[in-house]
Structure 1
Amino acid sequence: MTITLTHGHDGRLARVRYDNAARGNCFDHAGLHDLVDTLETAAADERCVVIRLDMAGRHFCGGWDTTAFAALAGATTETVAADLRASDAALHRIRRLPVPVVAAVRGRIIGFGAGLLSAVHLPIAAADARLSLPEARYGFAPAGVGHTIARSLPRQHAYHLLTGAATATARQLLAWGLVVEVVDDDDLDHAVDDLVDTLLAVPGPTLRAVVAVVESSLATGTADQAYDISARTIVAGPTTQGASG
């Protein structure tokens, strides 16, 4: 597993590549925290206004690394619950990034991959993308992913997926709001390029402010913080920062 961080457009674009393609881009705790740390490092650069997350290979995410399950033998309920909370807390750190994360979603999205998908701000899916949640067939109920699916999907569809009885298509992911666009497989990288270029044309401080408005509104359920955030952009006045280069 390797994670790389590169920059483009005078530092305004950060490109983070996660490559565990040999194992379908599955995760363990170390890999997840390394990815989140890299994303936070990219966003901490004040020049950065967009992060492009590239998941290597044919599949977006193969879920949690099943080889890690052996370590759970003899673990207590409290220990396992703490591990589950820790992985969800890591995903929440992605949601809280001050700049949007754009990602191409192709191939399989399995189990924990649904949580990663939901944490990405602007995922675009290829028509061949498929989401499945096989946890129930292994004898356990998904926790954070279950919560995400239950909140995002109509109740009946949530049960259909969480019991392992169904696989969601890319078009269903779009209808449920889990991706922002579905394109032909061969057009996926071009569509992500176009979205990144569109975002880079927005002034950097404004784009960061938009992220703050959305995430504060979702976190609090009110517009109180959004008023202050918007007011700061209005007082600052028009700017072309981030729209050149």
Structure 2
Amino acid sequence: MYEALEITRDGSVATIWMNRPQRHNAFDAALIAELTQAFTQLGADDEIRIVILAGRGKSFSAGGDLNWMKAAGEAGFEANLADAGKLAQMFRILAEMPKPTIARVHGAALGGGMGLASACDICVASTQASFITSEVRLGIIPAVISPYVLRAIGMRQASRYFLTAERIDAAKALQIGLVHEVAEAETLDAAIDDLISALLKGGPQAQAAAKRLIRNVAGKMMGDALAQETAHNIAALRMNAEAREGLSAFLDKRAPAWINRTGSDDV
């Protein structure tokens, strides 16, 4: 059903492979539409617990296809805005997917590719990976990806890399918080498997709630309102069936039901 994507499933883990290797998995309107559809469908699929985003070929993603961006810039403002809106929607759907997401970055993640890596919950990179917000070299800015990159590296680092468009190697990406873990190319998938094993032990509803919690709490100052909001969150969550099962399983010294639901979750 997809022309620019390949989706593979291993039990409750789905991997979305961007499959435009000849274009270094650069965005165009078709790829943006397919990614939006894939993120939406997998986010709503109760059989899927974890989504991995990866790229075929030499690069993870080279960001926006230059011909597509040039054509968008030459269109009228309304058409240009609509095009940008579809890109922004795609990133938001990825960032707010109600299940854990992992970026598997094996090569270059440029511009929007760095945005994809930042929009995922976890980023694991090969030692051969590199990142860059290259937009200023094209006379534009990393506007659509900025909320996700800023979330990953903070304002101070963004103040440097948004302006200089310097290439960030894997070691530097780890240092500034863009990447959670760096592995040699031959052990990249093993590192991701370790994360999958850890993630599958968590309750799926709790993980979705944890993602919402991060978005809701980040940037807020501590005070009575925030304390009340967080108390409400935990009180409501403790009453649902998943929480009751998790607490009972811990006290009974057994695995909770969500681990034994499928063979792939038996970790």
Normalising by structure 2, we get a TM-score of 0.79
Indicate how the Cα distance of structure 1 residues 162 and 170 shifts in structure 2: closer, same or farther if over 3 A, else same. same
Alignment of 1:53-202 (within 5 A): 53-200=53-200, 202=201
Runs of 4+ with deviation above 6 angstroms: none
In the alignment of these two chains, the number of paired residues is: 239
CA contact (8 A) 1:5 1:42 kept: no
How far apart in 2 are the matches of 1:152 and 1:3?
26
Indicate how the Cα distance of structure 1 residues 47 and 111 shifts in structure 2: closer, same or farther if over 3 A, else same. same
How far apart in 2 are the matches of 1:92 and 1:127?
28
Q: State the match for 1:234 in structure 2.
A: 243
CA contact (8 A) 2:35 2:90 kept: no
Q: State the match for 2:8 in structure 1.
A: 6
Indicate how the Cα distance of structure 1 residues 172 and 81 shifts in structure 2: closer, same or farther if over 3 A, else same. farther
CA displacement at 1:31 relative to structure 2: 0.8
CA contact (8 A) 1:146 1:162 kept: no
Residue range with higher mean Cα deviation, 165-174 or 26-35: 165-174
2:7 match: secondary structure? strand
Residue range with higher mean Cα deviation, 70-79 or 57-66: 70-79
Q: Which runs of 5+ in 1 are unaligned?
A: none
Give RMSD over aligned pairs.
2.4
Residue range with higher mean Cα deviation, 96-105 or 110-119: 96-105
CA displacement at 1:151 relative to structure 2: 4.5
Identical positions, percent: 24
Counterpart of 1:218, as a letter, is I
Counterpart of 2:126, as a letter, is A
CA contact (8 A) 2:32 2:86 kept: no
1:216 match: secondary structure? helix
CA displacement at 1:79 relative to structure 2: 4.1
Counterpart of 1:185, as a letter, is A
Match of residue 219, structure 1, among 208, 215, 222 = 215
Q: State the match for 1:39 in structure 2.
A: 39
2:17 match: secondary structure? strand
Indicate how the Cα distance of structure 1 residues 160 and 90 shifts in structure 2: closer, same or farther if over 3 A, else same. same
Deviations 1:91-137 (A, max 9, x none): 11112222212232121110111211112122211122111122111
How far apart in 1 are the matches of 2:165 and 2:69?
23
2:51 match: secondary structure? strand
1:23 and 2:27 matched:
no
How far apart in 1 are the matches of 2:74 and 2:104?
38
Q: Which runs of 5+ in 2 are unaligned?
A: 218-228, 250-255
How far apart in 1 are the matches of 2:154 and 2:15?
34
Normalising by structure 1, we get a TM-score of 0.85
Bigger radius of gyration among the two = 2
How far apart in 2 are the matches of 1:230 and 1:175?
36
1:153 match: secondary structure? helix
Counterpart of 2:43, as a letter, is A
Residue range with higher mean Cα deviation, 65-74 or 133-142: 65-74
CA contact (8 A) 2:91 2:145 kept: no
